[in-house]
Structure 1
Amino acid sequence: MSAAELDALFGDAWDEKNPVGHTAVLAADERREMLAAGERVLDEYGLNAEFVPVAHGGRLERADRLAEVLRTVWRRDPCLGLGYGFSSLIASVNVWTTGDEEQRRRTARLLLANRRIAAAFHELAHGNDFAHAECAARPDGGGWLLSGRKEIVTNLRRAEAMVLFARTGAAGSRGHSQFLVTRDELPAARLRDLPRYHSSGMRGVQLGGVEFDDCPIPGDALIGNPGQGVEMALRSYQITRSVGAAMFAGPLETALRLAIRCSLDRRLYGGKAADLPYVRAAIARAYADLLAIEAFSSVILRALHLAPESMGVYAPAAKYLTARMLLDAFADLRAVLGARSYLRQGKYAMFQKLARDIAPATFAHVSLSAALVTLLPQLPGLARRSWLSGPAAPPSLFDLGGDLPALSLDRLSAGMPRQDGIIGALAEISGDASPHDSDPARRFTARYADELRRLRDECATLGPADLAIDASPAAFALADRYTVVLAASSVLAVRRHDESVLLGALDRLTERTGGPPVLSPAEREETERRLFDEAVTRYLDDRPLFLNSNGAVV
């Protein structure tokens, strides 16, 4: 089964009689319900098999395939994407990376039977600060007694199992563990479901909470060894953050199609809205953001296979920047739809639902500030020993759609990477590129090589006080700039496979670094004209707006 086959199962999104079309999705959202017909489609497709490694009977072998399938679901309905699928992926990855064979078999059986597994990590009092989570498990004979609360957990009531994060020791990096438990092995008298949390976005997703009162859990529920909980999460998040970065492009593509449709249908000032330069530019820039997200996230997904030792820095960088770009692109498209972007009825009503749904998606699982905090301690070392002097990643990393070895989860590391091959590729590409070159791509290369030199010098001097959550705003700004340079390096390296595209993506990324534009006004106008025309053509032909295996617009 492929993503294209899943898309065919979903059918025409604009067909009002389609039980999984826009009309049905919006009706379920108004009822604050999951789209039942959508879940039946995903049962038929066997979506959970995408989360199970091939060795255990599933289809998980390539991260880019997983992201493509999930992006197809999120393009139709983010609630369906989170409530049916992504939450089970977040939970199960911990079992694949660290669980024993019996735990892996149990998890595979549950998922392949279309069951759900909740990731019970979050506590409202501590947010993303897992090191201070208070829900605790203490030894009791051959098992454990669990006490405390978990809140804002997706699918907690309707999941047959959960992966639970709990304190098992003193505060610190070795003070927590993870457990795989099923609902039927927990005594009902020792746990209490908390009232459902209602949200402005993801309204159909069941967000629950639970309180444990000396609730016994079996000894074999422990995943790995006591105290491995944080390390396990850091490794697993490298997969889910990378996949999430690519997955979130799905709602943006749908929003872009809605904006294009509105610009072609809407009459303003005696013509189509699409005739207005501002409208055309807004659509072109959002499309450029989509291409930048796609190129960057595709490289990061390939790095899971080819450079897993670097994912401790690549995964949070991708999560942070793609989320920021997603929000900015939606803001541009909102300007195209105007007041229609807020309407909950009519043919453009899907936009407001997507805009509400993607807002929590960008801070759920890990907030943007937490992603930057993950990056900060790694930047000084990379600046001193790798940037401008370390080896470049192999060309295969940037050959989108090229062959990949099977995903090897045991190669992921919670430690700090020593090399940064994507940045190394920028140093290799830059060569004698000049900011005065007639070729705009070479000017972009020169700009980012210069940006990297400044970034290296500033990051190399960061002290201990600037490597934690209470770091200065200037330190956080450096981490932000690093994510942009990393994305631009990815785009430039991908662009070597097709010299005709992605200038618009580089232009949008460069706006985030400040300074004078690289493109002249005439070059920017021409680039945006090509992007707008390309996006409209793809929309009218009902073709995807993403990249093909050669880095060209498909």
Structure 2
Amino acid sequence: MITDRLAQLEKLLGDLHDPANPTGAAAVLAADERGEMLAAGETALHDYGLNAEFVPTALGGRLDDLEHLVEVMRSVYRRDPVLGLGYGVSSLISGVLLWTAASPAQAEAAATRLLDGERIAVAVHELAHGNDMTGMELAATLAADGWLINGRKEVVTNIQRAQAVVVFARTDEKPGPRSHTLLLVERAPGDQTTDLPRYATSGMRGLQLGGLQFDDTPAVALGPVGSGLEQALRALQVTRTVLPAMATGVLDTGLRLAITHLSQRRLYGGTAIELPHVRAVLGGVFADLLRAEAISAVGTRALHVVPGSAAVYSSAVKFAVSKLVLDAMDRLSELLGAHFYLREGPMALFQKLVRDLAPVGFGHIARAACQMSLLPQLPLLARRSWRTQADPTALFHGDLPELRFDRLALHAGGQDPVAASLASALQDNGLPHAVRAAAQADLAELTDLAEICARLPIAELGVDAPAHHYDLVPRYVRLLVRISCLQLWRHSDGGFLADPAWLHEPVEDVLLAELFSRHRDHCYFGLSGRSLV
């Protein structure tokens, strides 16, 4: 049971605010000041067997439900994003590449390695080329006894302490989509690689972000030669969805710290939290956290239910969630004033969270790259889905089918069941008047967007597309967020999420009552509302 696993993990990590806890805030901050990973945290995650969460059940692990994985990782991220990325996510990214591209024997060997507590790094990007994967220069050549890699990769997590590395390398000098291959490099003393110095960063100070110089380094291919770009683009849809979803745990802690501080701070004859502006900001941040987790939940479930559409939803989740959580933390920073950047005292953890959260906007894939990925798909989505009706209940509620990496597609083919579900939702006679009015306004917006996008000339949708074309992407993503909220409300099992107060125009008093109740009872602020240690 996921609830049992979460309780076990929270118990292992202990009370975040206990100064004597070796994995508490004081220890997290001390490790950050030293520029080190929290050793006690890694021990706790090893004892929990976190790597098993990244290995499919068919290979002996616990990965059968990505929603469960996200919730587990939120428990780590809400405490220390460095621990979440440094211990866990690096191996998750390499894992999904392996589960997508590797042969059965290679996948089984990788699963055994992870289940034994080892690490597998992933070296895809190069600083000179950013998100342009077809421009990556690190090259591999075929020799008599296998592939040999030459070149360098920079800013790779866990590169120095990984036992193996998945490498994205050029295997054909000719440009095009078949020019790169995924390769696996075994790391060992004398392995013909040289570790490069760590890049200094403002956040994620304890994360190992090194590089690697390859000099005729032996490697084996994962999948057919030339299939690297296709395999990577398919597999990374998973991580582009779940990584931003995990990061909402950071906002949970930031909001919790802000409430505690503002409840104690005296201003203008009372506590700061009594001020109307402060209360409005806190309610808005709470609503944005729920919105971020709503689009995350639907995007995550889509990987199971409609994997062929994940090429759209993964970019939409990254684009929406990163902005929601970053903007929300900025608003909390404004409320806290000078206290938000202090590196000592009861609010010291907040400034670390702000620094560590920043990569959610550009790490793995930048928001601008998400726009470039979504824009060319809008015309076909508009013509094939946005004027139709669908009722994909499994996207919003119930048990999930098996996660099939082989069914992820490079392009959604115009299939967008989330947007198409809006018209079906309006057939529900039980919608309250305010909810119906908001949904009708959204349908009118979707219809208008469909008319515009259906006429877009394909030749103008490349990387050099006009700015007003790129402006269509945020309009579409905002609609997806609102539709996701509506549908999760419609399919909720009761409790606070069954109250329409958290939807498009949140009711501040209801939101604040729920927020302060969860703070008092030490419950998670996101969709699950689960109890915390």
Shorter-chain TM band: over 0.9
Question: Which AA in structure 1 matches 2:395?
Answer: L
Question: Which AA in structure 2 matches 1:352?
Answer: Q
| Superposition deviation, residue 416 in structure 1 | 3.1
Among 435, 444, 450, the alignment partner of 2:438 is 444
Structure 1: which 5+ runs fail to align? Answer: 508-523
> 1:539 maps to what in 2?
519
Task: Give CA-to-partner distance per residue, 1:243-288, whole Å, 9 cap, x none.
Answer: 1132111001000101111111111111000100011011000000
Q: Is the 8 A contact 2:244 2:360 kept in 1?
A: no
Q: Is the partner of 2:212 in helix, strand or coil?
A: strand
Question: Which AA in structure 1 matches 2:371?
Answer: L
Q: Is the 8 A contact 1:51 1:59 kept in 2?
A: yes
Task: Give CA-to-partner distance per residue, 1:73-94, whole Å, 9 cap, x none.
Answer: 1111000000000011111111
Which runs of structure 2 are paired with 1:345-356 in the superposition (5 Å)?
A: 345-356=344-355
**Residue 79 (str. 1) matches residue 82 (str. 2):** yes
Change (3 A) 1:432 1:48: closer
> 1:519 maps to what in 2?
none
Which runs of structure 2 are paired with 1:497-536 in the superposition (5 Å)?
A: 497-498=491-492, 500-507=498-505, 527-536=507-516
| Superposition deviation, residue 361 in structure 1 | 2.5
**Residue 458 (str. 1) matches residue 452 (str. 2):** yes
| Superposition deviation, residue 504 in structure 1 | 3.7
2:186 & 2:284 partners in 1: Cα distance? 47
Question: Which AA in structure 2 matches 1:105?
Answer: E
Change (3 A) 1:2 1:432: closer
**Residue 214 (str. 1) matches residue 207 (str. 2):** no
Task: Give CA-to-partner distance per residue, 1:172-198, whole Å, 9 cap, x none.
Answer: 1111000111102x844x322111111
> 2:422 maps to what in 1?
426
> 2:340 maps to what in 1?
341
> 1:511 maps to what in 2?
none
Q: Is the 8 A contact 1:288 1:502 kept in 2?
A: no
Q: Is the partner of 1:215 in helix, strand or coil?
A: strand
| Superposition deviation, residue 295 in structure 1 | 1.4
> 1:382 maps to what in 2?
381
Moved over 4 A (4+): none
Q: Is the 8 A contact 1:430 1:449 kept in 2?
A: no
| Superposition deviation, residue 547 in structure 1 | 2.1
Q: Is the partner of 1:253 in helix, strand or coil?
A: helix
1:53 & 1:252 partners in 2: Cα distance? 29
2:334 & 2:171 partners in 1: Cα distance? 50
**Residue 471 (str. 1) matches residue 465 (str. 2):** yes
| Superposition deviation, residue 298 in structure 1 | 0.9
> 2:390 maps to what in 1?
392
Question: Which AA in structure 1 matches 2:455?
Answer: T
Q: Is the 8 A contact 1:187 1:215 kept in 2?
A: no
| Superposition deviation, residue 68 in structure 1 | 0.7
Question: Which AA in structure 1 matches 2:256?
Answer: R
Question: Which AA in structure 2 matches 1:121?
Answer: V
| Superposition deviation, residue 431 in structure 1 | 4.8
Q: Is the 8 A contact 2:185 2:218 kept in 1?
A: no
Among 16, 22, 25, the alignment partner of 2:28 is 25
> 1:512 maps to what in 2?
none
1:361 & 1:158 partners in 2: Cα distance? 24
TM-score by length of structure 1 reads: 0.91
**Residue 265 (str. 1) matches residue 264 (str. 2):** yes
2:233 & 2:127 partners in 1: Cα distance? 20
Task: Give CA-to-partner distance per residue, 1:138-174, whole Å, 9 cap, x none.
Answer: 1111311211110010011111111000001121111
> 1:191 maps to what in 2?
193
> 2:108 maps to what in 1?
105
- Identify the range of structure 1 (46-55 vs 437-446) with the bigger mean alpha-carbon deviation: 437-446
Q: Is the partner of 1:506 in helix, strand or coil?
A: coil
> 2:63 maps to what in 1?
60
> 1:174 maps to what in 2?
178
Q: Is the 8 A contact 2:391 2:424 kept in 1?
A: no
Calculate the aligned-residue CA RMSD, in Å. Answer: 1.8
| Superposition deviation, residue 403 in structure 1 | 1.2
**Residue 50 (str. 1) matches residue 53 (str. 2):** yes
TM-score by length of structure 2 reads: 0.95
| Superposition deviation, residue 469 in structure 1 | 1.7
Q: Is the partner of 2:403 in helix, strand or coil?
A: coil
| Superposition deviation, residue 438 in structure 1 | 7.8
> 1:285 maps to what in 2?
284
Q: Is the partner of 2:181 in helix, strand or coil?
A: strand
Among 412, 418, 423, the alignment partner of 1:416 is 412
> 2:307 maps to what in 1?
308
Question: Which AA in structure 2 matches 1:207?
Answer: L
Task: Give CA-to-partner distance per residue, 1:411-453, whole Å, 9 cap, x none.
Answer: 21123333111011112123599xxx98221121012111101
Change (3 A) 1:90 1:502: farther
Task: Give CA-to-partner distance per residue, 1:89-129, whole Å, 9 cap, x none.
Answer: 11111110121122112211111111111110111100111
Task: Give CA-to-partner distance per residue, 1:505-537, whole Å, 9 cap, x none.
Answer: 423xxxxxxxxxxxxxxxx6xx11221221111
Question: Which AA in structure 1 matches 2:520?
Answer: L
1:249 & 1:422 partners in 2: Cα distance? 22
2:391 & 2:39 partners in 1: Cα distance? 44
1:50 & 1:114 partners in 2: Cα distance? 12
Q: Is the 8 A contact 1:147 1:215 kept in 2?
A: yes
2:290 & 2:30 partners in 1: Cα distance? 31
1:442 & 1:68 partners in 2: Cα distance? 31
- Paired residues, number: 521
Task: Give CA-to-partner distance per residue, 1:396-422, whole Å, 9 cap, x none.
Answer: 2211xx211221222211233331110
Q: Is the partner of 2:518 in helix, strand or coil?
A: helix
2:499 & 2:248 partners in 1: Cα distance? 18
1:265 & 1:38 partners in 2: Cα distance? 30
1:194 & 1:271 partners in 2: Cα distance? 54
Q: Is the partner of 2:198 in helix, strand or coil?
A: strand
Q: Is the 8 A contact 1:491 1:502 kept in 2?
A: no
Structure 2: which 5+ runs fail to align? Answer: none
1:529 & 1:335 partners in 2: Cα distance? 22
Q: Is the 8 A contact 1:299 1:490 kept in 2?
A: yes
Among 95, 102, 112, the alignment partner of 1:92 is 95
> 1:514 maps to what in 2?
none
1:192 & 1:199 partners in 2: Cα distance? 21
2:102 & 2:160 partners in 1: Cα distance? 23
Q: Is the partner of 2:225 in helix, strand or coil?
A: coil
